Structure 1
Amino acid sequence: MTRDAFPRLPGYDELPADVKDVEIAATARYGLRLFLERVASPDAGPGDYEYFRERAAQRADEGMPLHLLLGTHCVGTHELWRALRDVTLPGEEAALAELSDYLFAAQERIVAAVTETYLDEQAAIVAERREERRSLARALLEGVGGGTGVEAFEEGALVVFVCLPVAVRDERSVAVRRLVRRLQAAFDRVFGVGVPALLGGAGGHAVVPGRDVVEVPGELGAALREFCGPGVRLAAAVADSVGGIPEAARTAEEIVRVARACGRPPGPHRLDDVLLEYHLSRPSAGSERIAALLEPLAGRPELVETLRAHLELRQDRRATGRRLGLHPNTVDNRIARVSSLTGLDLASAHGTALALAALLLREAEETAADDA
């Protein structure tokens, strides 16, 4: 079988010689003995398939394709049946039929046992590798030092933050596990490597190794929108070394927060797109007093929403009206009300800058409160 029959299977010749000549041959011999014992003692039961399970787990661990593993069992069964057929004499057809029943019933049970064990082992291997990558991502993002795989990031990395439009909080749910698998697959496919990531129902971070990767490919944004919806946001920051990864992660997350607070539409965000707003949102000695300028708008979300859109759209009353579904005169009335309540002159560059800074700082406070 191992010399003449199995080589017909695609990929069999590429296996190591010891696997073919020793281990697979031993499995075939065990199968033959099991069949002969079944014929000799028909009432003894189907036999012990634990040996096949052990070999299946070993083949899965070695990466042997399942179709090739099952192919050896099916071809082996066929070869044994041909041998029985070739020695069957006239008048012995009933005996051949009885032996065939034993043979194919055993094949069905063996294939089921092998498939179940192989898939279980593969699932365990995938889960182990996934957890290894999550552990690596956690170590990199928290800056806790060395570990297996860290050397790939010594020359730098691109840290990507993804914020999903609808956060699923139950991290153990099937929906979240499926979403995380698809997110991880998108990162791996787009960047061409296994990307360590900490992802969940609200999104998360991924750390792409290499100093040559400096921005997020458009293909990634398209892939994420495909299965996360059009509301997905993402941003990236470059780390020059392993030690810079935690700060890059915070920067990427902050870019998304600022872009959302400014009313920018979902999608990929770059620091250059929100450079002024990013600077204005940095905490300083006067941050609390600036944020307090909008305190009179508490309980008036429609005014805050109008102010945010008005500033984002360069104070274009018609564009603001279109975005919010309002008449331009309503926009004017709301902006006038904001000025009246806060005392900010939104017609001046100084008043506009203060309003923008106040919006960003209040957004930062609210985000910090939610995280706490």
Structure 2
Amino acid sequence: MPVSAAARALALRCERRAGELARRMAHESFEALPGYAELPADVKDLEIAGTARHGVRLFLRRVADPRSGHGGYRLFRERAAQRAEEGMPLHLLLRTHALGMYVLWQALREEAGPGEEAALVELVDLLLQHHHGVVGAVAETYLDERSAIEAERRAQRRAVVRGLLDGMLPPGHASLDRLSLEGPLLVLAIDIGRPCAPEGPVVVRRRLRRIQTVLDKTFGTEVLTLLDAGPEGAADSGRAVVPADCEPPEDLSQRLSTACGREVRVAAVPAGDLGAVPEAARTATEVLRIARACGLPAGTHRLDDVLLEFHLSRPGPSGDRIAALLDPVGDRPELVETLRTHLEHRQDRRATAAALGLHPNTVDNRLAKIAQRTGLDLSSPRGTALALAALLLR
């Protein structure tokens, strides 16, 4: 847009005052902003004053020659990235730019003489347009830098938590200091059920954030978590470490299920110290697997809830042989399911039939086929124990 000769002349007179205006901004005007006084003197004297001087000259030179770029917003972006890295609040950074524009407007008004009212209005219009571009560049760069810093911090924190849970970082490792963990701990294993339909990455990230939010609110602290989305159509999973005095509430599973809209199971296992965390994490994962395999309803599971099943499912030389006892019915899933349901219902044929939607005689026929094929005597305590162990091991 063409600029009038009168507006260019007024801008030229103000350009001679660029250094003075920059000092006024950095050492007088900005001092009224909350938090500005705490900034280091060299930041004010060199970087902020230099950026203010650049901003004044950039605008006034663009008025003199609208076709020239004069460096664009590169310096503003560089300084915004620095302020983001140093932790300056975004509102303070944007207020300095807004107040700087106001100081420049005051200078233009002071320089304007009688008959230059139209030129002053023209410059104010251009100044507002210029400020719009500067604020956009500064805010965009600041937020991008903060996002990158936070992503790096989360990645580092996640790597440390993974190292702790997997036993890759021994107690006393320097990286563990940043986690601020002391005393007895509690390790959680989390299983988030399969989705009903395919989900996009945004939905997955939102669900994992909700899980994190519920855990933080429940335990009153920023919970250390590793939450991972499973392959498409598979269940998500996670692990977490919390102080041992934060005993999980009985309805934790329900809270998580409500937050993410999917069935959630949780296993909780105590760890006496940091060195015990990896074993506790492995135990919690196994408790979760066994609770699911045994058909327990979703909830908050502990080792005592599946103590016998946990013991029976431990690997050993006899494990494969016990699991193989059910190989003869391995090709008949309805027989395996009948056996599992029959044991879950305390070998009550009518309750088993009701659970499976079958006639009791059908249950009897299936149990007879199981006994015939496997040789297991389900009417004896030993046969029942072997069948239970075989189901767990399989």
Q: TM-score range by the shorter chain?
A: 0.7 to 0.9
Whole-Å separation in 2 of the counterparts to 1:349 and 1:44: 93
Matching residue of 1:353: 385
Does 1:139 pair with 2:171?
no
Does 1:246 pair with 2:278?
yes
Task: Tell me the secondary structure at the aligned position of residue 315 of structure 1.
Answer: coil
Mark the CA change 1:311 to 1:226 in structure 2 (over 3 Å): closer, same or farther: same
2:222 to 193, 200, 203: 193
CA contact (8 A) 2:163 2:169 kept: yes
Matching residue of 2:152: 128
CA contact (8 A) 2:271 2:277 kept: yes
Counterpart residue identity of residue 185, structure 2: A
Does 1:255 pair with 2:284?
no
Task: Tell me the secondary structure at the aligned position of residue 264 of structure 1.
Answer: coil
Matching residue of 2:64: 40
Whole-Å separation in 2 of the counterparts to 1:338 and 1:7: 85
RMSD: 3.3
Q: 1:103-182, aligned counterparts within 5 Å? A: 103-146=127-170, 147-151=173-177, 152-153=180-181, 155-166=183-194, 173-182=201-210
Matching residue of 1:62: 86
Matching residue of 2:39: 16
More off after superposition, 187-196 vs 317-326: 317-326
Residues 162-195 of structure 1: per-residue CA shift (max 9 Å, x gap)? 1221279x99955544444444444444441251
Residues 194-224 of structure 1: per-residue CA shift (max 9 Å, x gap)? 51526332444434254534x4345653443
Mark the CA change 1:14 to 1:102 in structure 2 (over 3 Å): closer, same or farther: same
1:260: how far off? 1.0
Matching residue of 1:208: 241
- Segments of 5+ residues of structure 1 without an aligned counterpart are 363-372
Counterpart residue identity of residue 175, structure 2: G
Counterpart residue identity of residue 310, structure 1: H
Structure 2 length normalisation: TM-score?
0.78
1:253: how far off? 0.8
Mark the CA change 1:289 to 1:45 in structure 2 (over 3 Å): closer, same or farther: closer
Does 1:234 pair with 2:258?
no
Paired positions, count: 359
Q: 1:332-371, aligned counterparts within 5 Å? A: 332-362=364-394
Matching residue of 2:331: 299
Structure 1 length normalisation: TM-score?
0.82
Counterpart residue identity of residue 121, structure 1: E
CA contact (8 A) 1:159 1:205 kept: no
1:92 to 86, 91, 116: 116
CA contact (8 A) 2:254 2:264 kept: no
Whole-Å separation in 2 of the counterparts to 1:171 and 1:14: 49
Does 1:312 pair with 2:344?
yes
Counterpart residue identity of residue 97, structure 1: V
Counterpart residue identity of residue 164, structure 1: I
Whole-Å separation in 2 of the counterparts to 1:69 and 1:317: 74
Residues 261-301 of structure 1: per-residue CA shift (max 9 Å, x gap)? 11112222111111111112122332222212211211211
Whole-Å separation in 2 of the counterparts to 1:224 and 1:53: 41
Matching residue of 1:370: none
1:125: how far off? 1.0
1:259: how far off? 0.6
1:85: how far off? 4.1
More off after superposition, 302-311 vs 16-25: 16-25
